[in-house]
Amino acid sequence: MTNQKILVIDDEEIILRSLGRILEEEGFRVSVAKTGTEGIEKLSETPDLVITDLKLPQMDGLSVLKKIHEIDKELPVILLTAHGSIQSATEAMKLGATDYVTKPFDSDELLVTIRKALETKALKQEVDWLRNEAMKQISYDELNGQTQKMRDLMKMVDKVANSTAHTVLLEGESGTGKNYVARMMHFKSKQKNSPFMEINCASLPENLIESELFGHERGSFTDAKQLKKGLFEVAKGGTVFLDEISEMSLSTQAKLLQAIECRMFRRVGGVQDIETDVRIIAATNINLKEAVAQKRFREDLYFRLQLIPIHIPPLRERPDDIPIL
């Protein structure tokens, strides 16, 4: 049983009662508010998570979201909306929403979303603590080599590996061992008995990478002489490692985003949706935020990937780790 508190903000009494019952049956403590203003006031009760409707009297859900994160930027917020358009969802993610659920909602889906949000929050707190502990070792490392940084990094990898996070972003210069870290994360996770599939997004032409990721149907293009399963299908229950993701075309980025959000994809030339349960580990050697600003990388995909970012220090700061890599 959990003792975590969830604040629900909605102007519909039936939604408040329904959500209250569902959450209390799962062991959550529930606080409710009928307006955004009242919801902001109830932040003083220190909830662990907020669920707010997008359309509210006095203050809409996006305004509530902004205000919440002015007060506590780490507080997870899930939006409820009957208007689950890509535009409103993207705006919500840009403003820091953890996720969104469309009305009428499925209670099991909502509970899964809530648990993921709470686990991600706890995981971030653990990673922050480990990062702070690692920073305390800088002086020691300067005198005694840099392998402690790798050990601290592996502690973070352990935490993330055993989480339910579907997406992880590895950031670091070329040659820092992002591939090594991705493999370690896979083999330390519950997915370790399922495939680890990898692709370098810079090594394939644009017209082939989509087929490699999602597969293709026979006859879908000139050389498609037989059905081919892509990495997302072959790696069922495992991990797909996307190295140099910044080199992926915008059109393929859009299809990747859809696969992440819907947990489904289609083969090239296909009409059937295929479910996917893979973990996606993306790696980049550039600043993706700058790539977003330059319109070279989708902002909505960036916000999906960077929920759990892991920075890998350059080798010049840890030369003793070179033999490992």
Domains and CATH numbers, the chain: 5-105 (3.40.50.2300), 160-321 (3.40.50.300)
% residues pLDDT > 70 (the chain): 87
Averaged pLDDT, 117-144? 61
Averaged pLDDT, 108-117? 92
Q: Are 131 and 156 in contact (CB under 8 A)?
A: yes
**Can you give the length of the chain in residues?**
325
DSSP string, 237-282: TSEEEEETGGGS-HHHHHHHHHHHHHSEE--BT--S-EE---EEEE
Chain segment 241-251, per-residue pLDDT in tens: 999 999 999 99
Whether the full predicted model's pTM is greater than 0.95, yes or no, is no
pLDDT at 142: 39
Chain segment 173-210, per-residue pLDDT in tens: 988 889 888 998 998 899 888 899 999 999 888 878 99
Lowest mean pLDDT among 39-48, 80-89, 113-122: 80-89
Flag whether pLDDT at 322 surpasses 90: no
Chain segment 19-32, per-residue pLDDT in tens: 999 999 999 999 99
